[in-house]
């Protein structure tokens, strides 16, 4: 399955991370146009994207956005998603002016502690039938 089957941006996320799963549901809630699609990093589709863009297969601690055949990771990916949502969330994009190494140091601190702070599932969550069309794998 090639990622170019859709023109929709794809968010790759850690499928067993409670924080990551909550973030995906939050994105869906604030994306009434249903522009985003999702895939767990542990799944076949997520692993294919990692391989295609020469990212390590165990890059599970990164939020990855695939948009317009480009990969955006960590805080940059998250800010680009926020920019596309409804409400006031696009205003967060102003933080893009902060150098990535500073933004990503905060991101990395949260990513490093996400299982400890928010918990972890035994396996990837299965989307509800109403949301199944938004997910690959």
Express each pLDDT in 49-76 by its tens digit. 999 999 988 877 778 999 999 999 999 9
Sheet holding 10-13, edge to edge: 37-40, 10-13, 64-67, 70-73
pLDDT of residue 100: 94
pLDDT above 50 for 4: no
* Fold assignment, 3-134: Glutaredoxin (3.40.30)
pLDDT digit string, tens, across residues 77-109: 999 999 999 999 999 999 999 999 999 999 889
Give the CA distances from residue 127 to residues 22, 31, 42, 94, 101, in Å, rounded to whole numbers and listed in that order: 12, 16, 15, 32, 33
| Rounded Cα–Cα distance for residues 89 and 84 (Å) | 8
Distances (CA, A) of 128 to 49, 125, 135: 24, 9, 10
3-state helix, strand, coil in the chain (%, to 5): 50, 15, 40
Average pLDDT, the chain: 87
Quote the pLDDT of residue 128: 75
- Mean pLDDT over 32-54 rounds to 93
């Amino acid at each position: 399955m090639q990622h170019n089957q859709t023109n929709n941006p794809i968010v790759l996320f850690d499928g067993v991370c409670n924080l990551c799963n909550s973030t995906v549901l939050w994105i869906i809630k604030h994306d009434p146009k249903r522009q985003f699609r999702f895939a767990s990093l542990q799944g076949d589709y997520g692993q294919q994207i990692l391989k295609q863009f020469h990212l390590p297969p165990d890059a599970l601690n990164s939020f990855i956005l695939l948009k317009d055949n480009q990969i955006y990771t960590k805080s940059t990916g998250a800010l680009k998603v926020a920019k596309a949502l409804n409400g006031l969330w696009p205003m967060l994009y102003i933080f893009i002016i902060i150098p990535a190494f500073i933004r990503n140091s905060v991101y990395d601190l949260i990513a490093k502690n996400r299982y400890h702070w928010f918990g972890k599932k035994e396996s990837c969550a299965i989307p509800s039938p109403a949301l199944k069309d938004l997910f690959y794998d």
